[in-house]
Amino acid sequence: MYRADAARTGVVTGVTGPNPAGGFYWKFPTADQIVASPVTFGQWVFVPSTDNRLYAIDMTDGSELWSYDAGEALRATAAVAELRSAGVGGQGGTRPVVAFGDTGGTVYLRDVFTQGGGPFWSVPTSGSIVGSPLIVGSRVIVASSRPDSGQVISLLPLTQEVEWTYPPIGEEPIGPIQGAPAFHEGMIYVTTTGIGGILYGIDAETGVPRCQSQPLGDLAFPPVIVDGVVYVTTSERFVYPFVAGSCTSKPANRQFQYDFPGGVTAAPVIVGDVMVVPNGSNLVAVDLTSTDRGASLWIFPSGAVIQSSPVVAGDTVYFGNNSGTVFAVALNTDDPAGELRWSWRTGSAVVSSVAVIDGVVFVTSTNGIVYAIGEATEADTTGGTVPDTTQPGTTGPDTTVPDTTDTTEPDMTTTTQVPVVTTLIPPPGVGGAQ
């Protein structure tokens, strides 16, 4: 799921990424920019592209399992999980599905492992789907947004019903929504953008609002929920913590707000009392318990704006920047300038979060390519050319948005290993699983 889980923590547990990264196992080209994050399920990677297609890719060799053309650009990260049903007499079951939406406002539900065919259900909305859907139990929660308003919608794909909308149709709308919804202990949290952006807490079962904050600023990123605290971030400069279940109460041992002059450019990641925040071209780590508002644990200069929300696996923070470089830095270090573990260059800006499994980092870039980055061995070879991102019958991706300043070729070392997928075994009977 996007940002690792329903709470959008960005913390991937039980896996260790490559250290160091020596090259890529494979690369998979699409026909236009990719601004959404890759997500994994079983031994597959799911990637939406602005070429209108959702791709299911075999993570072991980079081959295509299937793709679906939605007819409109896909900018929001897909959600992949098992829908759960109570069933008759308590005999429930699960159905692995992928939920995704397009800029035209349609939400699609498709079975993960079916090779042929399209979605088994699609739902039009009145706006655009720009944030990743949220799968919780039997529900799929989506945020649909127009330039001046937004709406949160609960779908029941197993029965193909729209369960509720917030606000209800006909009532005064809330502001536009840019970030993905988050979930914690029965409540959906969503934020709105603009000068007066607000945090809303909504009952997941009924769609009834439970709380809302005062206007806070441009809340352009998903809420992050860690240890009973909801963190919301304004693009202007502030991160605000609230007690989960409340949109106004401040938690103990936390500041009223955390200030990052120059602006916050992506959602933070929080591990214990350490918060790591993209602050322009710098990645900044702060101690959440500190009373010194201007203090930082370390500041890592990446050299270009960071729009890639960081992900933590083990004791390493992974992220990309707008010059197309992917970084792995130490979460805990005494070096005030941060500790670089490795970096790897793609061909264009990385504006999405990476996906991490044992020994592999999956990266999407605005050059339209998906990379599986891994460790090198003595048997690895070096060489190659700049990846050809042009597909037959196309003119190739438009690399003018977002701004990319790095014109160097991507690192082209190719590792001969196979990505480690032992932590992501496909369900029985699928893909050769035992």
Q: For residue 246, is it within any domain?
A: no
Three-state secondary structure along the chain?
A: CHHHCCCCCCEECCCCCCCCCCEEEEEEECCCCCCCCCEEECCEEEEECCCCEEEEEECCCCCEEEEEECCCCCCCCCEEEEEEEEEECCEEEEEEEEEEECCCCEEEEEECCCCCCCCCEEEECCCECCCCCEEECCEEEEEEEECCEEEEEEEECCCCEEEEEECCCCCCCECCCCCCCEEECCEEEEECCCCCECEEEEECCCCCEEEECCCCECCCCCCEEECCEEEEECCCCEEEEEECCCCCCCCCCCCCCEECCCCCCCCCEEECCEEEEEECCEEEEEECCCCCCCCCCEEEECCCCCCCCCEEECCEEEEECCCCEEEEEECCCCCCCCCEEEEEECCCCCCCCCEEECCEEEEECCCCEEEEEECCCCCCECCCCCCCCCCCCCCCCCCCCCCCCCCCCCCCCECCCCCCCCCCCCCCCCCCCC
Banded pLDDT at 398 (limits 50, 70, 90):
very low
Looking at residue 402, what is its pLDDT? 44
pTM: 0.88
CATH of residue 308's domain is 2.40.128.630
Q: For residue 151, is it within any domain?
A: no
Percent of the chain scored above 70 by pLDDT? Answer: 85
Measured CA to CA, the distance from residue 406 to residue 311 in angstroms comes to 23
Q: For residue 72, is it within any domain?
A: no
Q: For residue 369, is it within any domain?
A: yes
What are the Cα distances from residue 82, in Å, to 42, 45, 248, 341? 11, 15, 33, 35
Residue recorded with tokens 């929504």:
177
pLDDT digits (tens, 9 = 90+) for 216-274: 999 999 999 999 999 999 999 999 999 999 999 999 999 999 999 999 999 999 999 99
For 183-187, 363-367, 418-422, which range has the lowest pLDDT when averaged over its residues? 418-422
Q: For residue 301, is it within any domain?
A: yes
pLDDT digits (tens, 9 = 90+) for 300-343: 999 999 999 999 999 999 999 999 999 999 999 999 999 999 99
Which of 256, 244, 305, 295 is CA-nearest to residue 274?
Answer: 295
What average pLDDT does the chain have? Answer: 87
Domain count, the chain: 1
Q: Which domain holds residue 329?
A: 7-33+267-434
Which of 357, 354, 279 is CA-nearest to residue 324?
Answer: 354
Q: For residue 401, is it within any domain?
A: yes
Q: For residue 54, is it within any domain?
A: no
Q: For residue 81, is it within any domain?
A: no
151 is written with which tokens? 């709406």
Cis peptide preceding 336, ω within 30 of 0: no
